[in-house]
Amino acid sequence: MNRHLVPRIGALALALALGACAAPGAQPGAMEVRRATIEQITPTQLQSNHHAGIGAVAGGLAGVGIGSLIGGGTGRDVAMVLGAVGGAVAGNEVQKKYDQPTPGQQIVVRTASGVLVSVSQPANPGLRVGQRVYIEGSGENARIVPQQ
Protein backbone atom coordinates (compact mmCIF):
# COMPACT_ATOMS: atom_id res chain seq x y z
CA MET A 1 0.00 0.00 0.00
CA ASN A 2 1.06 3.56 -0.58
CA ARG A 3 2.65 4.96 2.60
CA HIS A 4 0.73 8.28 2.20
CA LEU A 5 -2.60 6.52 1.85
CA VAL A 6 -2.60 4.80 5.28
CA PRO A 7 -2.49 8.04 7.37
CA ARG A 8 -5.20 9.55 5.20
CA ILE A 9 -7.49 6.56 5.67
CA GLY A 10 -6.83 6.66 9.43
CA ALA A 11 -7.64 10.38 9.58
CA LEU A 12 -10.83 9.83 7.57
CA ALA A 13 -11.92 6.99 9.89
CA LEU A 14 -11.25 9.16 12.96
CA ALA A 15 -13.23 12.07 11.49
CA LEU A 16 -16.19 9.79 10.69
CA ALA A 17 -16.13 8.27 14.18
CA LEU A 18 -16.06 11.68 15.88
CA GLY A 19 -18.78 13.02 13.58
CA ALA A 20 -21.04 10.09 14.45
CA CYS A 21 -20.66 10.90 18.17
CA ALA A 22 -21.67 14.55 17.79
CA ALA A 23 -25.06 15.56 19.18
CA PRO A 24 -27.50 16.54 16.46
CA GLY A 25 -28.38 20.24 16.28
CA ALA A 26 -31.85 21.71 16.01
CA GLN A 27 -33.57 20.40 12.93
CA PRO A 28 -34.94 22.92 10.41
CA GLY A 29 -38.56 23.73 11.26
CA ALA A 30 -38.23 22.28 14.77
CA MET A 31 -39.85 24.26 17.60
CA GLU A 32 -38.50 24.41 21.13
CA VAL A 33 -41.13 23.47 23.73
CA ARG A 34 -40.60 23.88 27.50
CA ARG A 35 -42.89 23.17 30.45
CA ALA A 36 -43.71 25.93 32.92
CA THR A 37 -46.27 27.23 35.43
CA ILE A 38 -47.94 30.64 35.15
CA GLU A 39 -46.83 33.02 37.92
CA GLN A 40 -48.49 36.26 36.74
CA ILE A 41 -50.76 37.56 33.96
CA THR A 42 -50.93 41.30 33.23
CA PRO A 43 -53.30 42.76 30.60
CA THR A 44 -51.49 44.89 28.01
CA GLN A 45 -51.90 46.37 24.54
CA LEU A 46 -49.96 44.91 21.61
CA GLN A 47 -48.84 47.15 18.79
CA SER A 48 -50.09 46.37 15.30
CA ASN A 49 -47.84 44.22 13.17
CA HIS A 50 -48.55 46.30 10.04
CA HIS A 51 -45.50 47.97 8.56
CA ALA A 52 -45.61 51.75 8.95
CA GLY A 53 -45.66 53.67 5.68
CA ILE A 54 -46.90 50.86 3.46
CA GLY A 55 -50.30 52.53 3.05
CA ALA A 56 -48.72 55.83 2.00
CA VAL A 57 -46.38 54.14 -0.50
CA ALA A 58 -49.15 52.01 -2.01
CA GLY A 59 -51.50 55.00 -2.19
CA GLY A 60 -48.81 57.17 -3.75
CA LEU A 61 -48.05 54.57 -6.42
CA ALA A 62 -51.74 54.17 -7.21
CA GLY A 63 -52.08 57.96 -7.42
CA VAL A 64 -49.15 58.20 -9.88
CA GLY A 65 -50.72 55.46 -11.99
CA ILE A 66 -54.08 57.19 -12.12
CA GLY A 67 -52.50 60.60 -12.70
CA SER A 68 -50.55 59.23 -15.70
CA LEU A 69 -53.86 58.48 -17.42
CA ILE A 70 -54.90 62.14 -17.37
CA GLY A 71 -54.02 64.57 -20.16
CA GLY A 72 -50.61 64.88 -21.77
CA GLY A 73 -47.37 66.84 -21.43
CA THR A 74 -47.10 69.20 -18.46
CA GLY A 75 -50.73 68.53 -17.45
CA ARG A 76 -49.97 64.83 -17.13
CA ASP A 77 -46.90 65.58 -14.98
CA VAL A 78 -48.97 67.81 -12.68
CA ALA A 79 -51.71 65.16 -12.48
CA MET A 80 -49.12 62.49 -11.57
CA VAL A 81 -47.61 64.64 -8.79
CA LEU A 82 -51.04 65.54 -7.38
CA GLY A 83 -52.10 61.88 -7.66
CA ALA A 84 -48.98 60.75 -5.80
CA VAL A 85 -49.50 63.24 -2.97
CA GLY A 86 -53.23 62.61 -2.71
CA GLY A 87 -52.79 58.85 -2.90
CA ALA A 88 -50.09 58.90 -0.21
CA VAL A 89 -52.31 60.90 2.16
CA ALA A 90 -55.33 58.65 1.48
CA GLY A 91 -53.25 55.47 1.85
CA ASN A 92 -51.83 56.67 5.16
CA GLU A 93 -55.32 57.41 6.52
CA VAL A 94 -56.59 53.97 5.48
CA GLN A 95 -53.61 52.29 7.17
CA LYS A 96 -54.27 54.17 10.42
CA LYS A 97 -57.61 52.34 10.71
CA TYR A 98 -55.80 49.01 10.84
CA ASP A 99 -52.90 50.07 13.08
CA GLN A 100 -54.92 50.06 16.31
CA PRO A 101 -53.36 48.21 19.27
CA THR A 102 -54.92 44.86 20.12
CA PRO A 103 -55.64 43.40 23.58
CA GLY A 104 -52.86 41.17 24.85
CA GLN A 105 -51.30 39.62 27.93
CA GLN A 106 -47.85 39.74 29.45
CA ILE A 107 -47.47 36.29 30.99
CA VAL A 108 -44.69 35.46 33.46
CA VAL A 109 -44.02 31.73 33.84
CA ARG A 110 -41.55 29.70 35.91
CA THR A 111 -39.86 26.79 34.14
CA ALA A 112 -39.07 23.49 35.85
CA SER A 113 -35.49 24.70 36.37
CA GLY A 114 -36.77 27.79 38.25
CA VAL A 115 -36.09 30.33 35.48
CA LEU A 116 -38.69 33.09 35.03
CA VAL A 117 -39.75 33.80 31.43
CA SER A 118 -41.98 36.68 30.29
CA VAL A 119 -43.97 36.45 27.06
CA SER A 120 -46.31 39.07 25.54
CA GLN A 121 -48.97 37.60 23.27
CA PRO A 122 -52.59 38.13 22.15
CA ALA A 123 -55.10 37.68 24.97
CA ASN A 124 -56.07 34.09 25.77
CA PRO A 125 -58.92 33.94 28.32
CA GLY A 126 -58.18 30.23 28.91
CA LEU A 127 -54.97 30.98 30.82
CA ARG A 128 -54.85 31.52 34.61
CA VAL A 129 -52.25 31.89 37.39
CA GLY A 130 -50.99 28.52 38.65
CA GLN A 131 -51.85 26.72 35.41
CA ARG A 132 -49.28 24.35 33.87
CA VAL A 133 -48.39 25.47 30.35
CA TYR A 134 -45.93 24.98 27.52
CA ILE A 135 -43.64 27.70 26.18
CA GLU A 136 -43.55 27.12 22.44
CA GLY A 137 -40.73 28.70 20.43
CA SER A 138 -38.30 31.35 21.59
CA GLY A 139 -37.60 35.07 21.28
CA GLU A 140 -40.31 37.18 19.66
CA ASN A 141 -42.03 34.03 18.39
CA ALA A 142 -42.51 32.46 21.86
CA ARG A 143 -46.10 31.65 22.89
CA ILE A 144 -47.68 30.30 26.07
CA VAL A 145 -50.20 27.50 25.50
CA PRO A 146 -52.06 25.36 28.06
CA GLN A 147 -50.94 21.76 28.64
CA GLN A 148 -53.55 19.30 27.41
- Which pLDDT tens digit goes with each residue over 26-41? 555 555 678 899 999 9
Sheet harboring 143-146: ordered strands across?
116-122, 102-111, 33-46, 132-136, 143-146
CATH topology for the 27-47+101-146 domain:
OB fold (Dihydrolipoamide Acetyltransferase, E2P) (2.40.50)
Domain ranges of the chain: 27-47+101-146, 54-98
Q: Using CA atoms, how far apart are residues 51 and 38, in angstroms rounded to an integer?
A: 32
pLDDT tens, per residue, the chain with 148 residues: 556 666 666 666 666 555 555 555 555 555 567 889 999 999 888 876 556 667 777 777 777 778 778 877 888 888 888 888 888 888 777 777 666 777 889 999 999 888 889 998 888 888 999 999 998 888 888 888 998 7
Which is nearest to 120 in space by CA: 100, 139, 134? 139
